[in-house]
């Protein structure tokens, strides 16, 4: 990849400047702003090129996927570098100018690691079409909504996916999937970095998944200028504020057989805590890179003993979907122990060659959603 912060970011524009041709095989990244040539990606080598204009800087680096790349400065004060081959999928990165991390303003902004970050997509081939926009099929909507939380004491924001057929069937009710992001990200993560609407549109149109509403809430306790001390419990917010709001606002089935919850990373753990403490509310659950049992716990004592009576658990939960990337902490042994203990409704899913990243979670959702409400 080529790292790029243009002079427009520092001098107010690039009027009259002519962009130089990119090296052979490189194209502007799909995550760039529409006028930006860099970063550029070579789909064959999976390398990225970056370009930064910073004449007064002494040291400029790109921090990408756990590695810092030193950039080289030319006589015009333009810094460039090229990355190692990257894993396909979405990656956050930062530019370090004299050790200070900043965004590359040539990319769209993505909220990750608790700040607005640069991001770059290393493209997959046709195998990635399931999360790309398909112009030939109907598309649902993602609605941006605020609701009041008595638990939190403030308004909270959610994104809600409505299937394409929703407005055409005014008497039809729909099941609901509550889909939670991970630590350091927010309720926009699934719809932006995760491309969940494209995934759901394709699954529903192909008949692989039943039409459903997908609610994407924040996994954090919010504060504002009036409420400076975060209070409440996220599970209480989901159960006491969010679910009643969704059931009142949309045409939903309100029984547990038509309600699912899933989350990635910390959101997967929040899913466990929410579902396991409210077994009357959910019959389907999924954790994507987010299931673990503490080392000092056994199967029978984990999550306050929810697995101790395997028969009782199996009658309550239709599906416990546990997904991971092969290059991250892997819960396979725990899954096998649960099966040996008698938990019979587990599906274990692995994303080959990926770690704790959005491609892992896109793949997980693509496998999980077709299993729901059937």
Backbone angles phi, psi at 67, to 5 degrees: -130, 140
Cis peptide before 39 (omega within 30 of 0): yes
What is the three-class DSSP state of 130?
helix
CB 5 within 8 A of CB 106: yes
Token reading at 221: 């306790």
Fold classification of 130-371 is: Rossmann fold (3.40.50)
Domain borders along the chain are 2-123, 130-371
State residue 29's pLDDT score: 97
CATH number of 2-123: 2.60.40.10
pLDDT at 255: 98
Contact indicator for 289, 265 with CB cutoff of 8 Å: yes
pTM of the complete model = 0.92
Indicate the helix (H) or strand (E) that contains 203: helix 196-205
Q: What's the CA gap between 212 and 162, in Å, rounded?
A: 7
For the chain, 374 residues long, the average pLDDT of each consecutive 10-residue run is 43 46 94 94 97 95 96 95 96 96 94 92 96 97 96 93 96 98 96 98 98 97 73 90 98 98 97 97 97 83 94 97 95 94 96 95 98 97
Domains 2-123 and 130-371 share a fold: no
């Amino acid at each position: 990849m080529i790292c790029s912060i243009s002079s427009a970011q520092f001098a107010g524009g690039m009027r009259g400047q002519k962009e130089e041709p990119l090296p052979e095989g490189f194209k502007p990244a799909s995550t760039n702003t529409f006028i930006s040539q860099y970063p550029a990606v070579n789909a064959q080598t999976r390398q990225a090129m970056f370009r930064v204009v910073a004449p007064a800087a002494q040291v400029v680096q790109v921090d990408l996927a756990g590695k810092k790349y030193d950039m080289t400065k030319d006589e015009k004060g333009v810094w460039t570098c090229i990355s190692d081959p990257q894993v396909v999928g979405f990656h956050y990165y930062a530019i370090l100018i004299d050790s200070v991390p900043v965004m590359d303003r040539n990319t769209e902004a993505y909220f990750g690691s608790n700040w607005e970050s640069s991001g770059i997509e290393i493209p997959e081939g046709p195998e990635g079409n399931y999360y790309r926009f398909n112009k030939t099929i109907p598309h649902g909507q993602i609605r941006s909504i605020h609701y009041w939380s008595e638990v939190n004491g403030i308004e909270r924001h959610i994104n809600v996916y409505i299937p394409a057929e929703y407005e055409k069937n005014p008497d039809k009710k729909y099941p609901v999937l509550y889909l939670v992001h991970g630590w350091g990200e927010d309720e926009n993560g699934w719809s932006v970095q995760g491309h969940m609407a494209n995934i759901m549109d394709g699954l529903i149109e192909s008949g692989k998944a039943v039409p459903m509403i997908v609610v994407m809430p924040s996994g954090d306790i919010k504060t504002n200028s009036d409420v400076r001390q975060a209070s409440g419990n996220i599970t209480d917010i989901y159960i006491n504020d969010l679910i009643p709001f969704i059931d009142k606002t949309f045409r939903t089935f309100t029984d547990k057989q038509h309600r699912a919850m899933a989350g990635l990373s910390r959101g997967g753990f929040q899913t466990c805590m929410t579902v396991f403490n409210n077994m009357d509310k959910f019959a389907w659950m999924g954790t994507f890179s987010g299931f673990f049992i503490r080392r000092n716990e056994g199967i029978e004592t984990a999550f306050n003993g929810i697995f101790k009576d395997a028969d009782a658990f199996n009658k309550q939960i239709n599906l416990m979907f546990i997904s991971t990337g092969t290059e991250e902490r892997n819960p396979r042994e725990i899954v096998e122990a649960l099966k040996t203990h008698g938990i019979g409704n587990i599906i274990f899913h692995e994303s080959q060659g990926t770690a704790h990243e959005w491609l892992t979670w896109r793949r997980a959702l693509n496998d999980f959603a077709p299993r729901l409400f059937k």
